[in-house]
A and B are shown apart, each in its own frame.
Chain A
Amino acid sequence: MKRVSLWLPFSIFVVFFGVVAFGLIKPSDHVITSKMVGKPLPQFALQPAHEGQAGLTSGDFSGGAPRLLNVFASWCIPCIAEAPHLMQLQSKGIEINAIAIRDRPEDVARFLERNGNPYTRIGSDTVGKVQISLGSSGVPETFVIDGKGIIRHQHIGDIRADDIPEIIQALEAAK
């Protein structure tokens, strides 16, 4: 018993040291997932972000097939990397709606001209209000919304070539 209590402080120190060292060597990269997955889309009505294309309201998501809601911005660099993969998803017949964050119509137009336009509707969220109400913590993010307007899946960060099966699977599961 005495031996145990003799070593106890040292072993606590070793554990403490280990935890601190681990945190320093491998800082945790917190990805904050939305807690809105599984819940209905919050109510919103956004003005069009791109001339000649419709804006986006939460009502647009009721009825029809599951679709993607892409949160992007013209000033976001990973969004450029993501663009060809969104085009690929769109060419498979998947409907993609979008919310442009803190963006100007002319910047959105330039971005779409340069990187392609896979979107059927683009809403403009100039103060990030809808983004926050979705529980999204940055751009780009993509949500899978089912035919009833329920958020079924969240993809954080740009969609890469090897993420496409995951997205398609989530869309299938949302049917």
Chain B
Amino acid sequence: MEIVVCLKQVPDTETQIKIAASSKAIEGGDIKWVMNPYDEYGVEEALRLKEKFKGTVTVVSLGPDRTVESLRTALAMGADKAVHITADSTELDPLATAELLAAAIKGLPHDVIFCGQRAVDLDQAQVGAALAEKLGIPHVALVTKLEVAADASKATANRPVEGQTLVIEASLPALFTAQKGLNEPRYASLPGIMKAKRKPMDKKDAAALGVTVTSMREILKLTPPPSRPPGKIVGGESVEEKAVALVRLLHEEAKAV
């Protein structure tokens, strides 16, 4: 089975975000970059499919030089080879990202493709569906369970939506976006890390892929979140007094209940 996983390098979720002087981007200075958490579920699921059916797991990422570290992490987890599309991912919109990924993946055999359900940086949740569209294959988003037929003809995926879970059958090749609950991603082992250094890492840029990058989004500005007025610590002699006073304030002042 031929499996492709797309991954993105994002700031660690503990990162404080500072807006750059241009007001169009964030300051990149002291950010700790990690593999997008949702992409880890995609890597793990790909490795499990490979363990079950044999085959190849190829990881693909798009971004500046530092992106190689996240690709190496996936290789250390057990992926077989990597494709690094060199570009400044912070400047690309989801459509351009999907075009570049599609151009790279078209040349690779693929039965199943995984993406994270969203990247925890710009939270756009678009690239998975857009990539599937550019490849002309179906996709199922937000998958928490996946069963792939041994002959790679079809797969059945659980997709929880508001108040219910849809069980969806898709013909392969197909793309699935992974989320928490799909599996528990493994850690890279020390031998895995050593091996990863010798695994193939193919580098390509937009020109080599024959893609002219455009943007369908005009960023006006980035701003900090609106500041909240300072809150009230509700005092009292006892927990009873505090709790009663709090509920009264929520009802009478905040009108929230």
Partners in one complex: no
Interface residues of B (CB under 8 A from A): none
